[in-house]
Chain A
Amino acid sequence: MSLTAKDFEVVIGLEVHAQLATDTKCFCSTRSRMPEGKSVGEEAVNVNTCPVCTGHPGTLPVLSKKAVEYAVRAGLSIGCTINSKSIFARKNYFYPDLPKGYQISQFDKPLCENGFVDIETKGLGQKRVRVQRIHMEEDAGKNLHMSGFSLVNFNRSSVPLIEIVSHPDMRSAEEAVEYLKALHAIDTTTGVCDGNMQEGNFRCDANVSVKPKGQKEFGTRAEIKNVNSFRFVEKAIEHEVDRQVELILGGGKVVQETRLYDSDTNSTRSMRSKEEAHDYRYFPDPDLPPLVIDQKWVEEIRSKLPELPAQKRARYVADYGLSAYDAGVLTGSGSLAGFFEQVLSAMEKKGKKKTDVAKGAANLLTGEVARLTNEAGIEVTESKLTPAHLADTLELQLSGGISSTNAKLVITTAWENGDSAAKIVDARGLRQVSDKGALEAVVAQVIAANAGQWAEFTGGKDKLLGFFVGQCMKASKGQGNPALFTEIINTKKSQG
């Protein structure tokens, strides 16, 4: 019996690198990030450096307590055990962006172990992805290749990282993306990571293998490096699965190797084989004593954990009556959920009950705002749009002051120029017209212009109602109140 592509099962494990959002680097007091959340790579080159993070001979690392706190927080937020004693090790390899010739990392005794992330899967409901470990390490610098020579930027050198290593529990590219999104939401909600994937402060390597369905042993895996967006993770894995299945069906064998994903060509290519793999010669770093963690401190950090996305999602559904989908989108990013809650608070100050306005706020955020952030590739908190814009717009919409169509326009405009909702409404004449006389005139005009359809409508073709409301809205440049238009049209119809 010969196998076909459908007979294969996919096995995926992810290694996620998250830059910790501490103000200073992991082993020195050099600035690690800009206050507004810009990563160091964005600034002028080699400005965030000191003798320690550029590896000057004779310098020594001193561990940042804040970085440990963030790493512990990351561990606790996914249910990890925090080890009372963990060891920093040197990972030795030569590369120009690694100033000491080794990276300080953790090897056989990591800080956190045995966590999990629950994800929503299509068809299978909730699924638990186990996390093996989280260890701390320092980031490397960045090579800049010029024509004929290369330069190194050490701004990123020794910025604290955590590596979150999952078990090979995912069975499709979609699941991998769901896991990555869930983890991203947790780490941005707890504030341990800024989560900007384009700037590389949340990045991932994927271990992918395939095996005939029902076979217990895993196939040989390939590690795909350099996948830096949710979309690329999905595409890279899908591509790699296809490659491996084709290889096996063609009588070939998957070899253990590291492959690099190229988003331009949507393909992976071999970077190094198992034989060429580095021997990192790990050994305990003699410059750093074992990291001993007081469990009391761990409990203190645990007690300060913010509400996590899963808890938040459940609360939004239960308390605000949001759909699971809307709640999921809102809690999918720490900054979006925070924004949502600020909008609700602002509405409360305007005398509205949160439960009455939550749905409307959610619609604007998961609709128009989500579209804008996705297009721009930034978090809502990085835009000119503020919770006040949203609250004012929502208030106008709910009171009938503007139409829902124009509410979207107000938001788009505020996103672009930051003007207040009132100013935008006035400047663009968006205030909704609810003056019955004026609207009746519009309806009369539309009926006159569409006499044929009107005859059909009054003759019983009810579904033309939408057409007439739409024409009225168009004629009123979106300012007419659609509910009133409907009422007037129906009255006219019954009058014949």
Chain B
Amino acid sequence: MAHTLKAVPGIDEIKAYATVKQVHAAYNAGKLTPSELTERYLKRAEGTKTGAYLQVLRDRAMAQAKAHDAVLKREGKVPPGQPLFGIPLGIKDVLTMDGVRTTCGSRMLENYVPPYTGTAVERLERAGAISLGKLNMDEFAMGSSNENSAFGPVNHPTHPDRVPGGSSGGSGAAVRAGLCVGALGTDTGGSIRLPASYCGIVGLKVTYGRVSRFGLVAFSSSLDSIGPMTHTVEDSARILQAMGGFDPRDSTSADVPMPDFIASANRDPDWSKVRVGVPKEYFIDGIDPEVRSSVQRALDWYKSKGAKLVDVSLPHTKYAVATYYVVAVSEASSNLARFDGVRFGLRPGQGEEDLTAFYKKNRTLFGPEVKRRIILGTFALSSGYYDAYFNRACQVRAKLKEDFDRAFEKCDVIACPVAPTTAFKRGEKTGDPLQMYLMDIFTIPASMAGMPGISIPCGADKDGLSIGLQLIAPQFQEERLFSFGAAFEKAHPEMQSLGGAAQ
């Protein structure tokens, strides 16, 4: 168990589960250099059969690592104010980096090279992170299994015939398989939490507005968020510490204080004051009994620590998926309009007789799920249908937020499953989009309400497939997720290697 390692590790001990703390201990002890570690991870990333990486940035990463070597040599220790000094991270391929191809998992953008770096990546690199490469994902972050990538699926890290979850499937698999210390994913309706749950790692969906979206290629602008995917809660806290906070380049980023998240991940709550809300709408028939019992065991553990379990109700939950699929696809239909082959996107329509034919041909490059959503969204916004669909969905969305606001009057955090099942087999749901959409039934409500949520490994089914516990907090209360989550994690070290060795 990595984080229970007592001695300071050297390169040979830094295996698949290295955490930032361990790496920094090794750096400080002079047992490891950033370039040694980076080289190790680059080799793994280049050699992986998971399909997690779309692009390994060897030269760029090694140049960063060498610069860190010099700093470490000069300073003799990890410099203060660099919480991610020399930490190799993977970046979901929906986040822009100046001069680095950014495909969004789409054939449409297979040659797109952005001329700027987004805020999150820029801040992580400023905090010392090394970007190893770009990670696979469902096309334009649309999907729950990573089977919608134009560049091939990603295997589940411990059960290769299964899906890693999506849309940040590359990020989930890469972290669990030890292809990076941590990764950035994005979550619109569950795209961080679901793969974190399936892969058996920690995944944080931040409060909407906590992390700047500047540099995140938009799927659904009012829902998209960037978040960390890591082995431990503390590492997620570190990454958020480095990349969160107000950004003048994103008008929807919130100008609210950034507390010391690393400290909150290391602080035990005062259990006698903790009220854990259990929403009855999330423990329904149809949820896998093994998922239910694992989550129940986690709830029991909180109770055993002295926390009070309270029943809460989120009555509009049953409308969440339908509402989400109106709002998200509507925004997507507009956001993806720019990929028409004129300014962005490949241009197979070159030579067509007129502009309409040209657009039509170019837009064939989208995969079926993306096309489906653009068509649905275009319809939902059409004149004559706007009120019945988009406007109605926005009204229900407000109700979903009210549900949470009311529930949080009775509790500090809500605990529930991340997904109704564990990772399913590849191909199992590709023919049935509705079944696929239902995988997000427990993650969508918090997304619609803009609340932060975290997925923490809490058990495994009989096949060794991991199960995630979801904690949801009120807006801008990520500290609670870190504190309550890290406490559970420390008490359950066995949860770090669910499902056995990665492939």
Residues in chain A near residue B343, CB distance under 8 A: 54-55, 96, 99, 152
Check B338–A58 contact: CB distance below 8 A. no
Listed stretches A71-79, A283-291, A305-313, A318-326; interface member: A283-291
Residues in chain B near residue A59, CB distance under 8 A: 116, 214-215
Check B102 for interface membership: any CB of A closer than 8 A. yes
Check B84 for interface membership: any CB of A closer than 8 A. no
CB of B33, distance to nearest CB on chain A (Å): 33
Check A260 for interface membership: any CB of B closer than 8 A. no
Minimal Cβ-Cβ distance residue in A for B359: A94
Separation of A51 and B330 alpha carbons in the complex (Å): 24
Residues in chain A near residue B390, CB distance under 8 A: 283
Separation of A288 and B213 alpha carbons in the complex (Å): 12
Separation of A53 and B355 alpha carbons in the complex (Å): 22
CB of A145, distance to nearest CB on chain B (Å): 12
Check A58–B337 contact: CB distance below 8 A. no
CB of B246, distance to nearest CB on chain A (Å): 12
Query: Which B310-339 residues have a C-beta within 8 angstroms of A?
Result: 330-331, 333-334, 336-339
Q: Mark B94-125, 1 if CB is under 8 A from A, else 0.
A: 01100000101000010010111010000000
Check B221 for interface membership: any CB of A closer than 8 A. yes
CB of B40, distance to nearest CB on chain A (Å): 31
Residues in chain B near residue A289, CB distance under 8 A: 251-252
Check B378 for interface membership: any CB of A closer than 8 A. yes
Separation of A92 and B335 alpha carbons in the complex (Å): 10
Chain A contact residues: helix, strand, loop or mixed: loop
Most buried by B among A57, A92, A94, A152: A57
Residues in chain B near residue A279, CB distance under 8 A: 382-383
Check A286–B359 contact: CB distance below 8 A. no
Check B248–A62 contact: CB distance below 8 A. yes
Number of interface residues of A (CB under 8 A): 28
Determine which of B216, B248, B336, B355 lies in contact with A58 in the assembled complex, contact meaning CB atoms within 8 Å: B216
A287 with B338, Cβ < 8 A, contacts A54-B343, A94-B359 known: no
Check B334–A60 contact: CB distance below 8 A. no
Check A63 for interface membership: any CB of B closer than 8 A. yes
Q: What total count of A-B pairs have CB within 8 Å?
A: 103
CB of A162, distance to nearest CB on chain B (Å): 20
Number of interface residues of B (CB under 8 A): 44
Chain B contact residues: helix, strand, loop or mixed: loop
Residues in chain B near residue A101, CB distance under 8 A: 334, 336-338, 340
Check A58–B252 contact: CB distance below 8 A. no
CB of A348, distance to nearest CB on chain B (Å): 48
Check B359–A60 contact: CB distance below 8 A. no
Check A62–B115 contact: CB distance below 8 A. no
A283 with B330, Cβ < 8 A, contacts A56-B115, A57-B114, A60-B214 known: yes
Separation of A60 and B213 alpha carbons in the complex (Å): 8
Check B465 for interface membership: any CB of A closer than 8 A. no
Determine which of A51, A54, A94, A286 lies in contact with B221 in the assembled complex, contact meaning CB atoms within 8 Å: A286
Residues in chain B near residue A54, CB distance under 8 A: 343
Separation of A100 and B217 alpha carbons in the complex (Å): 12
Query: Which A92-145 residues have a C-beta within 8 angstroms of B?
Result: 92, 94, 96, 99-102
Check A287–B96 contact: CB distance below 8 A. no
Check B334–A281 contact: CB distance below 8 A. yes
Check A281–B383 contact: CB distance below 8 A. yes
Separation of A289 and B382 alpha carbons in the complex (Å): 22
Residues in chain A near residue B102, CB distance under 8 A: 57-58
Separation of A63 and B251 alpha carbons in the complex (Å): 8
Minimal Cβ-Cβ distance residue in A for B96: A58
Q: Mark B232-260, 1 if CB is under 8 A from A, else 0.
A: 00000000000000001111100000000
Check A61 for interface membership: any CB of B closer than 8 A. yes
Residues in chain B near residue A203, CB distance under 8 A: none
Residues in chain B near residue A92, CB distance under 8 A: 333-334, 337, 381
CB of A339, distance to nearest CB on chain B (Å): 40
Q: Can you report 13 A-B residue pairs in the complex whose CB atoms are below 8 A from each other?
A: A56-B114, A56-B344, A57-B102, A57-B104, A57-B112, A99-B343, A101-B334, A101-B338, A281-B378, A281-B386, A286-B221, A286-B222, A287-B252
Given known contacts A57-B338, A58-B215, A101-B337, what 20 new A-B pairs fall within 8 Å (CB)? Answer: A51-B116, A54-B343, A55-B344, A57-B109, A57-B112, A57-B217, A57-B344, A58-B102, A58-B118, A58-B217, A92-B337, A99-B338, A100-B338, A101-B338, A152-B342, A281-B378, A281-B382, A288-B252, A289-B251, A289-B252
Q: 6 closest Cβ contacts across the A-B interface?
A: A101-B337, A286-B222, A281-B381, A286-B221, A57-B217, A101-B338
